[in-house]
Amino acid sequence: MLITTKSLWSRALAGLLLVLLQGVALAAGIVDTAYVEQALRRGAIVWDIRDADDYQAGHVPGAVNLGDAGRVLRDPNREDFVPTPQVEALLGKAGIDILNKEVIAYSRKGDPYAYYAAYLARYFGAPDAKVFHGGLDDWRAAGKPLDKNATTLPAVTLKLAPQPGVALWNDDMVARVRAGKTQILDVRTPGEYAGNDIRAIRGGHVPNAVNIPYEQNWVDPATPGKLARKEVKTRDGMALKPLEDLRRLYAGLDPDKEVVVMCQSGVRASETATVLRDLGFKDVKVYEPSWLGYAGVLSAPAANETFFNVGALNGRLGAMQGRIDELEAEVDRLKARK
């Protein structure tokens, strides 16, 4: 067979394209069931971020668990990371060596806390942190076995340090807002964005922030409501949209410029930030304190600003307590009649 110069060039280009595509696949932050299987075989750490009871009821064989990551790794008041020494101790005791091992976090399909766990790992220096978006739902759907026995890894000693370029904090965020040059993506609900649903000391949004709720990443953003109303039985609608649909969703943002993603406390933002990175956005940061922190900086400018009505809340709580007192008194009367 005659091999021409043209055919040699074609083969070379095809080989180069394959290498590039493989590189993209390896760099992806969101992975599927097949990838998790292969990763387990090569010694990656698969991290089940659900609470201990859910983990014990059935998990991906070989997955480790340190309890509900959204609770144990976050300060309950500020909803930011717990102090670094505490993160070091928790991950180290569980053997989750984020500095030297590939780490894949998972939960149920679409759970943003799996993304938050991977984001936390990246923030503290993990070179290879990924998310299994389909989680336990996709694992079961593929007919894979579950394990009810806890996996124990050798404890490790970790020395962690925050990494630049992963997260922003209040001072840097306010400075960017005042400069007015940064792309800011608010992934909260339209009600939160508009200042109608107030979950901090004040409601509203960062001026000029674009609102694309994180559920828009899913095939059916209405799935949580449908599940609550028992209109659907599975979380299938929480699968990620095809890449082309996601590119259209974020077509209004420049992938070559910095994008800061925020929500209420950084959890929902971590999912969209990972999606953007997988779409090729070059500089994506999570505003870790998000609206909870920004709203508390009263000098920070806000659009649709609405302050939380503490007096009205106290009134409602007082009325509720009065009703509880009445019901308790009625129970005591009924008991006295017996």
DSSP annotation string for 133-149? TTHHHHHHHTT---B-S
- Beta strands per DSSP E along the chain: 30-31, 45-48, 103-106, 129-132, 167-168, 183-186, 202-205, 210-211, 259-262, 284-287, 303-307
Dihedral of alpha carbons 20, 118, 38, 32, sign: negative
The CATH fold of domain 28-141:
Oxidized Rhodanese; domain 1 (3.40.250)
Report the share of the chain in percent with pLDDT over 70.
Answer: 88
Model confidence at 104, pLDDT cuts 50, 70, 90, reads very high
- The encoded tokens of residue 117 equal 């766990």
Q: How far apart are CA 205 and CA 116, in angstroms?
A: 22
Average pLDDT of 265-270? 97
Phi, psi of 111 (to 5 degrees): -65, 115
Given this model, what pLDDT does residue 147 score?
Answer: 97
Model confidence at 45, pLDDT cuts 50, 70, 90, reads very high
Report the share of the chain in percent with pLDDT over 90.
Answer: 79
Residue 64 near residue 48, CB atoms below 8 Å: yes
Query: pLDDT tens digits, residue range 3-12?
Result: 344 443 444 4
Given this model, what pLDDT does residue 9 score?
Answer: 45
Model confidence at 16, pLDDT cuts 50, 70, 90, reads very low
Do domains 28-141 and 167-307 share one topology? The answer is yes
Burial of 227 (0-12, 13-18, 19+ CB in 10 A): middle
Please tell me the pTM assigned to this model: 0.84
Average pLDDT of 144-155? 97
Beta strands 183-186; 210-211: pairing state: parallel
Given this model, what pLDDT does residue 23 score?
Answer: 36
Model confidence at 131, pLDDT cuts 50, 70, 90, reads very high
Res 186 pLDDT > 60? yes
Closest CA to 212 of 183, 181, 243: 183
Query: pLDDT tens digits, residue range 290-335?
Result: 999 999 999 999 998 887 655 555 656 667 776 787 778 777 777 7
Domain boundaries, the chain: 28-141, 167-307, 310-338
Residue 268 near residue 112, CB atoms below 8 Å: yes
Burial of 69 (0-12, 13-18, 19+ CB in 10 A): buried
Query: pLDDT tens digits, residue range 189-241?
Result: 999 999 999 998 999 999 999 999 999 999 999 999 999 999 999 999 999 99
Q: What is the mean pLDDT of the chain?
A: 89
Given this model, what pLDDT does residue 304 score?
Answer: 84
The C-alpha R_g of the chain, in whole angstroms, comes to 23
DSSP 57-96: H-B-TT-B--S-HHHHTB-TTT-SBPPHHHHHHHHHHHT-
The CATH fold of domain 167-307:
Oxidized Rhodanese; domain 1 (3.40.250)
Given this model, what pLDDT does residue 308 score?
Answer: 64
Average pLDDT of 9-17? 42
Residue 308 near residue 201, CB atoms below 8 Å: yes
